[in-house]
Structure 1
Amino acid sequence: MKDTTYFKAKEFQCKCGCNTNEMNQEFVDKLTLAREIAGIPFVITSGYRCPAHNKAVGGVAGSSHTTGYAADISAATGEQKFKIVQALITAGFTRVGIAKSFIHVDSDPKKPSPTIWLY
């Protein structure tokens, strides 16, 4: 993927040390738009995951992280979560997961949408 206004490619690299980054550029471009709309930093805690790393961190089989269509964004407060989710939806994302400390977003074309879920 190419760097964007708010994101560097290395932020999305697999965290296992293999440094693989097969993020879908359209996904990252849409995430960049969401970041612009939100007006707050998006700290990426998980982007692309190689299959081995996905398994090691307990990711589900078929995770959108392994196809480059997903990211987890750090969100510590309810206000941050609201701003991030609102911006993601405004930017056109239709698959959002809300966890205690992060927001998951994906645009996997093989998965049902629209949907929001809680972890």
Structure 2
Amino acid sequence: MKYFKLYEFDSPDQPGSGKNMQASTLDLLDQCREVAGIPFIITSGHRTASHNQKVGGTENSSHLRGYAVDVECNNSKDRYKIVQSALSVGFNRIGISGSFIHLDNDPAKTPNVIWTY
């Protein structure tokens, strides 16, 4: 990866768990960061089941299988850049919050969706 280190994707309760991220997700994320041209701060990558429950994640969260990341974002200009670049590189599942953008490419879930929190 050009822009990230695996530890950035660790579940807070399991150091080293960033290694459980899917290579396809990390590749898309690196491409997305390149296209967006702005720094990405990862607020959530891989999650253990207990951490997922603690943060209120869904039971079938793509974070549990390493297909999802949340990128910090709290302004409309960066939000546009992140979403535009994510779509252009192939992320097909995007969640938009006031403070982060969820990006995932989970093949077990419905593709081509954007939702809000």
- Structure 2 distance, partners of 1:29, 1:114, is 18
- Structure 1 distance, partners of 2:27, 2:108, is 19
Count of residue pairs brought into register by the alignment: 115
Q: Which residue of 1 aligns with 2:55?
A: 57
Query: How do 1:1-119 residues align onto structure 2 when only pairs under 5 Å count?
Result: 4-16=1-13, 18-19=14-15, 20-21=17-18, 22-119=20-117
- Structure 1 distance, partners of 2:47, 2:76, is 27
* Aligned sequence identity (%): 45
- Structure 2 distance, partners of 1:76, 1:100, is 6
- Structure 2 distance, partners of 1:63, 1:33, is 23
- Tell me how far 1:52 sits from its aligned partner: 1.0
- Tell me how far 1:25 sits from its aligned partner: 1.0
The TM-score normalised by the length of structure 1 is 0.94
- Tell me how far 1:113 sits from its aligned partner: 1.0
Name the SS for the 2:102 alignment partner.
Answer: strand
- Structure 2 distance, partners of 1:26, 1:107, is 8
Deviations 1:4-47 (A, max 9, x none): 1000000001112x212210011101110010000001110000
- Structure 2 distance, partners of 1:53, 1:95, is 22
Structure 2 unaligned runs (5+)?
none
User: Amino acid of the residue matched to residue 46 of structure 2?
Assistant: Y
- Tell me how far 1:76 sits from its aligned partner: 1.2
- Tell me how far 1:54 sits from its aligned partner: 0.5
Name the SS for the 2:31 alignment partner.
Answer: helix
Aligned alpha-carbon RMSD (Å): 0.7
User: Which structure has more helix as a fraction of its residues?
Assistant: 2
- Structure 2 distance, partners of 1:57, 1:102, is 14
Structure 1 unaligned runs (5+)?
none
